[in-house]
């Protein structure tokens, strides 16, 4: 960590030693275990510095040049910088960087384009759809009439024929493409054609692949979607938050949907951190990183399949892998617990076609640490040892600690 962060830690220890211990404990956890949660990553020290900056003190409802509070001269500059960097990075005509999360970005997209009761076509939750894609526990399922499309029973790939059939039958006001557990690239051109055929808006929920898009390792939804919703963490490696991209024709509607319709004051320290992350993602080094994330995921997926796990769709195009550990004699929840005890942290998820819980994991964080294909081969074999009960979890925990120690997320 930097000298600045060391000094800040010293201040916190003096002021609130109880919380300082909690933060140091979390840093210890992250530094001694392997983070394979697909939605997580390590930000750079520069991003962390922006998050802990004096911009955290500033109230800034509104947009640059049109705020509801005085003293916004510098935060206006910071937000304009974040917007311009996002537009340049993704080739978008307009960017809104105020959304507090990916879910709030999706809410704003719906608010900009839809009215309560409108029909929306999206990937069904059992097949990898997000809560904001129609869950009855979420605002989306309560406010809109969602119709879910699925995946082919044999391949696990999105059933394009079903998408078209449902779109023609229901004539939705909007079609959503995107997933939290679909490991393959989405055919945005196909979804654009279907949306045009039925007169629907196309909303791309690209929270997971957007960092790969930034690094040139995944196709971009920007040329095809009316509105793109994304997070700024995950593979993009920025602060936890959201953003929206759209054409100039929808810019005012999107901005008003974020503020004042769904949010209040912008979190200016987070927006500054987003600007840092966008700048980092525009570098050649980030492009190398994004491609390595995918290479690592493919090696890890192949290794898990070779060990007997059933890998959904037979592999991955992205950072994300979903797999069924049942052939090894354990279900998803139990597998997650065993791996956590060994220091390997990942998630469960629903698997297509049947009430089955599998594993969802990703390679963004371990790649940020500098791990490559060699470590992924070891990781696949080690996970299998744990799931098969061939090695005690505590023994593997020490092996994991040793590996993680060789790739510290924040050296020094």
Question: Which H helix or E strand runs over 243?
Answer: strand 242-246
Give yes or no: 201 in active site: no
Helix/strand/coil for 240: coil
Give yes or no: 231 in active site: yes
| Given 32, 59, 152, 410, the catalytic residue | 59
> Is the CA virtual torsion 402, 403, 404, 409 positive or negative?
positive
| Given 58, 173, 184, 234, the catalytic residue | 234
| Given 13, 240, 253, 401, the catalytic residue | 240
| Given 61, 118, 152, 187, the catalytic residue | 61
> Is the CA virtual torsion 181, 141, 190, 170 positive or negative?
positive
CA distance 187 to 352: 19
How distant, in Å, are the alpha carbons of 119, 158, 169, 349 from that of 152? 23, 6, 19, 18
Question: Could you report how far apart the first and last alpha carbons of the chain are, in Å?
Answer: 6
Question: Which H helix or E strand runs over 76?
Answer: helix 73-90
| Given 231, 312, 316, 318, the catalytic residue | 231
Q: Looking up tokens 């969802």, which residue turns up?
A: 360
Give yes or no: 234 in active site: yes
Q: Are 183 and 206 in contact (CB under 8 A)?
A: no
| Exposure letters 289-298 (e unless 16+ CB within 10 A, then b) | bbbbbbbbbb
Give yes or no: 61 in active site: yes
Positions marked active-site: 59, 61, 205, 231, 234, 240
């Amino acid at each position: 960590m930097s000298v600045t962060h060391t000094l800040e830690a010293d201040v916190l220890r003096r002021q609130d030693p109880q919380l300082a211990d909690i933060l140091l404990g979390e840093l210890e956890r992250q530094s001694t275990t392997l983070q394979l949660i697909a939605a997580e990553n390590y930000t750079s020290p520069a991003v962390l510095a922006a998050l802990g900056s004096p911009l955290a003190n500033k109230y800034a409802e509104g947009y640059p040049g049109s705020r509801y509070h005085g003293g916004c001269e510098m935060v206006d500059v910071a937000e304009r910088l974040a917007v311009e960097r996002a537009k340049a990075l993704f080739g978008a005509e307009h960017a809104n960087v105020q959304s507090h999360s990916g879910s709030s970005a999706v809410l704003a997209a719906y608010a900009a384009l839809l009215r309560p009761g409108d029909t929306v076509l999206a990937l069904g939750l059992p097949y990898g759809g997000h809560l904001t894609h129609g869950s009855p526990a979420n605002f989306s399922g309560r406010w809109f009439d969602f119709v879910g499309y699925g995946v082919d029973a044999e391949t696990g790939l999105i059933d394009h024929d079903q998408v078209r059939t449902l779109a023609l039958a229901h004539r939705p006001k909007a079609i959503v493409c995107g997933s939290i557990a679909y490991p393959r690239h989405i055919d945005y051109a196909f979804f654009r054609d279907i949306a045009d055929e039925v007169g629907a808006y196309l909303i791309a929920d690209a929270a997971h692949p957007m960092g790969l898009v930034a690094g040139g390792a995944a196709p971009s939804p920007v040329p095809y979607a009316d509105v793109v919703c994304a997070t700024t963490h995950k593979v993009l490696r920025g602060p936890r938050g959201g953003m929206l991209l759209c054409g100039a024709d929808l810019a005012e509607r999107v901005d008003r949907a974020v503020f004042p319709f769904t949010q209040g004051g912008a979190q200016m320290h987070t927006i500054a951190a987003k600007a840092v992350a966008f700048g980092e993602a525009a570098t050649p080094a980030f492009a190398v990183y994004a491609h390595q994330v995918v290479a690592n995921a493919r090696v890890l997926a192949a290794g898990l399949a070779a060990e007997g796990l059933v890998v959904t769709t037979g592999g991955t195009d992205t950072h994300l892998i979903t797999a069924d550990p049942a052939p090894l004699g354990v279900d998803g929840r139990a597998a997650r617990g065993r791996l956590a005890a060994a220091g390997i942290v990942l998630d469960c998820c629903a698997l297509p076609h049947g009430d089955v819980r599998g594993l969802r994991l990703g390679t963004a964080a371990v790649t940020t640490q500098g791990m490559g294909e060699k470590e992924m081969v070891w990781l696949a074999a080690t996970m299998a040892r744990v799931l098969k009960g061939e090695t005690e979890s505590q023994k593997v925990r020490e092996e994991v600690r040793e590996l993680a120690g060789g790739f510290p997320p924040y050296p020094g």
